[in-house]
A and B are shown apart, each in its own frame.
Chain A
Amino acid sequence: MSLENLLNHTSEWLRGTGPNSNIIISSRIRSARNLVDIPFSHWANDKQREKSLEEIKAAVGSALFLKKSTYLELKDYSELDKQFLVERHLMSREHAVTQDSKGLVIDEKEIVSIMINEEDHIRMQVMQSGFNLTEAWRITNEIDNELGVNLDYAFSPKLGFLTACPTNVGTGIRASVMLHLPALVFTNQASRILQTITKLGLTVRGFYGEGTEVQGNFFQVSNQVTLGRTEEEIIDSIDKVIAQIVTREENARKAMFMRSKERLVDRIWRSYGTLRSAHIISSNETIELLSAIRLGIDMDILKDLTIPVINELFILTQPAHLQKMEKKVLSHSERDLKRAELIREKLGG
Chain B
Amino acid sequence: MICDVCSKKDATVHLTEIIDNKITKLHLCEDCARKKGAEMEEHFGLSDLLAGLADFESKAMPKKEAKAKCPKCGMVYDDFKKAGRLGCAECYNVFSDSLKPLIKRVHGSVEHYGKTPISRFEAKVAPKKEFKKKKVADDIDELKGQLQRAVKMEEFEEAACIRDKIREMEKKEVGKKK
Contacts and interface: CB of A to CB of B under 8 A. Distances in A.
Interface class of chain B by DSSP: loop
A225 B108 contact: yes
23 contacts: A38-B88, A39-B72, A39-B87, A40-B86, A40-B88, A119-B85, A144-B115, A149-B123, A154-B88, A155-B117, A159-B112, A162-B92, A165-B47, A165-B85, A166-B86, A166-B99, A167-B106, A169-B103, A199-B16, A225-B108, A227-B103, A227-B110, A229-B113
Contacts of B116: 155, 157
B120 interface: yes
Interface in A148-177: 148-150, 153-162, 164-167, 169-171, 173
Contacts of B113: 228-230, 233
Nearest to B111: A228
Contacts of B73: 39, 43
B50 interface: yes
Nearest to A203: B46
A196 to B, nearest CB: 12
Contact of A166 (B50, B72, B108): B50
Nearest to B109: A228
B175 interface: no
Interface in B111-130: 111-118, 120, 123-124
Nearest to A162: B89
A199 B18 CA distance: 7
B132 to A, nearest CB: 16
B75 interface: yes
Contacts of B46: 167, 203, 224
B115 A231 contact: yes
A227 B111 contact: yes
B120 A42 contact: no
Interface string A130-154: 0000000000010011001110011
Interface string B3-20: 000000000000010100
Nearest to A198: B16
A148 B117 contact: yes
Per CB-CB distance, the 5 closest pairs between chain A and chain B, nearest first, are A228-B109, A160-B112, A211-B43, A154-B89, A171-B114
A92 to B, nearest CB: 12
A167 to B, nearest CB: 5
A157 B112 CA distance: 7
Contact of B110 (A36, A159, A224): A159
Interface in B81-113: 83-89, 92, 99, 102-103, 106-113
A210 interface: yes
Contacts of A128: none
Interface in A260-277: none
A113 interface: no
A39 B107 contact: no
A101 interface: no
A222 to B, nearest CB: 11
Contacts of B112: 156-161, 170-171, 227-228
B164 interface: no
B62 interface: no
B85 A227 contact: no
Contacts of A43: 73, 75, 85-88
A34 interface: yes
A225 B50 CA distance: 14
A166 to B, nearest CB: 5
A229 B115 CA distance: 10
A173 B110 contact: no
Contacts of B45: 210-211
A141 B108 CA distance: 24
B99 A153 contact: no
Contacts of B108: 201, 225, 228
A198 B108 CA distance: 15
A227 B109 contact: yes
B107 A164 contact: no
A27 interface: no
Contacts of B123: 149
B168 interface: no
Contacts of B114: 160-161, 170-171, 173, 229-231
B50 A165 contact: yes
A323 interface: no
Given A165-B86, A170-B114, A225-B106, 5 more contacts: A43-B85, A155-B117, A159-B112, A228-B112, A229-B109
B154 interface: no
A229 B116 CA distance: 13
